[in-house]
């Protein structure tokens, strides 16, 4: 089955700096890679996703890149703000059959 690794587990950045979270997956059949943000006391919320026929996708300050050959994908947040502080989860799979990574706790320091 699919196995997803995520690094780092914690990340602290200064406000305005960029943050990068990396994930690797094992199953070459995976073709859908969503990223979820979880704020304290709430359920995860989708922030961006990418499919295997696309190498990069951007939405304002958030971008995701995918390297299918190497089986890794990354989340990039530019110009970080305090409200970006949360736990971020990557996931990999197909359809709704995907596996989540263990999460990255991002802290944006003012």
Interface residue with another protein, options 7, 51, 58, 61 (CB under 8 A)? 51
In angstroms, what is the minimal distance from the CB of 13 to another protein? Answer: 22
Instruction: Quote the CA–CA distance of 93 and 58 in Å, as a whole number.
Output: 20
**Site map 69..108 versus another protein, x via CB under 8 A:** --------------------x----xxx--xxxxx-----
Query: What residues are paired with 64 via a beta bridge?
Result: 57, 75
In angstroms, what is the minimal distance from the CB of 68 to another protein? Answer: 15
Question: Helix or strand or coil: residue 44?
Answer: coil
Instruction: Quote the CA–CA distance of 72 and 68 in Å, as a whole number.
Output: 7
Q: Between residues 50 and 108, which has the closer beta carbon with respect to another protein?
A: 50
**Residue 53 binds to another protein (criterion: CB under 8 A):** no
Instruction: Quote the CA–CA distance of 104 and 10 in Å, as a whole number.
Output: 5
**Residue 11 binds to another protein (criterion: CB under 8 A):** no
């Amino acid at each position: 089955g699919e196995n997803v690794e995520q690094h780092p587990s914690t990340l602290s950045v200064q406000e305005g700096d960029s943050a990068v979270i990396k994930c690797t997956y094992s199953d070459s059949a995976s073709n859908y890679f969503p990223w979820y943000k979880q704020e304290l006391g709430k359920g995860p919320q989708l922030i961006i996703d990418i499919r295997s026929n696309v190498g990069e996708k951007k939405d304002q300050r958030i971008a995701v890149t995918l390297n299918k050959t190497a089986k890794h994908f990354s989340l990039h947040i530019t110009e970080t703000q305090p409200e970006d502080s949360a736990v971020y989860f990557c996931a990999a799979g197909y359809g709704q059959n995907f596996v989540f990574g263990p999460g990255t706790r991002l802290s944006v320091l003012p």
